[in-house]
Amino acid sequence: MKRIASFFAGLFIGLVLIGAVYSQDPNLTREAGGLRESGPPRLFGESILFSYQFPEPAKAGQIHTVQAALEHESYSQLHPFGLNDNGVYILIVATPPDVSTLRYRLVVDGVWTIDPHAPSEVTDRWGIRIAEFQVPIDRAGKAEYPAVSPEGLVEFRVLAESGQSVALVGSFNGWDPFMTPMAETQPGLYSRIVRLTEGEHLYYFMIDGLRVPDPNNAARRWNVAGMIVSVVQLP
């Protein structure tokens, strides 16, 4: 329990410093808390999940630290990772506006280094290796989706890491995670148009097995299964 509390405390600090509001996406917070091994950065809606893992846990009296520094901040801020109950260090950052390639470095136990799981890397003019993560360019119209037409057609959009399996799951398709897959119309941008009847409809996105409420839609509620889902209302 102490480690769980420590993880959420560290995660909260990192989120406040970076400007993300984790309480708006509890599914992402649970995903971060449940990670059992580190991997490359992952995009969830408007947030990026970073992770890091030491080969061995800290010894008695030893304290590990992991921080991230971002190029668009001129590496002037260090954002601390939180430790989850599985020994994985986690950081959630909001996708910065007008940045299509997020470049960053890690500071591990006080030593500047590169993310071992970086999707790609570049070398600057001083020979320093810098990790890169591609962020979808098209984030326009965030507040306009889901877009409802007078004919009852509704377009859903969500940002996720390119190449993932993304589906639209809701009360209108019997909560079937396979019935309504979403197409990757641009790198990292998934879309699906469905025809809905008048009234209220509940839904979420299934992104590589993770349930994610619509980050573009502020209308949410708890469903009967105790999960936060998004709501779309047709007149």
Confidence of residue 140 (pLDDT cuts 50, 70, 90): very low
Amino acid at 157: R
Please state, for a pLDDT cut of 90, what percent of the chain lies above it.
42
CATH of 142-234, one of 3.30.920.30, 1.10.645.10, 2.60.40.10, 1.10.150.530: 2.60.40.10
Q: What is the pLDDT of residue 24?
A: 44
Predicted confidence (pLDDT) per residue in 35-91, tens digit: 889 999 988 767 889 999 998 877 777 889 999 999 989 999 999 999 988 899 999
Is the distance from CB of 193 to CB of 181 less than 8 angstroms? no
Q: What is the pLDDT of residue 226?
A: 78
Predicted confidence (pLDDT) per residue in 14-23, tens digit: 443 333 333 3
Q: What is the pLDDT of residue 138?
A: 56
Greatest alpha-carbon span in the chain: 65
Q: What is the pLDDT of residue 137?
A: 58
The domain over range 2-134 is classified in CATH as 2.60.40.10: yes
Is the distance from CB of 116 to CB of 107 less than 8 angstroms? no
What is the pTM for the complete model shown?
0.58
- The boundaries of every CATH 2.60.40.10 domain in the chain are 2-134, 142-234
Angle ∠(162,86,89) on CA atoms, nearest 5 = 60
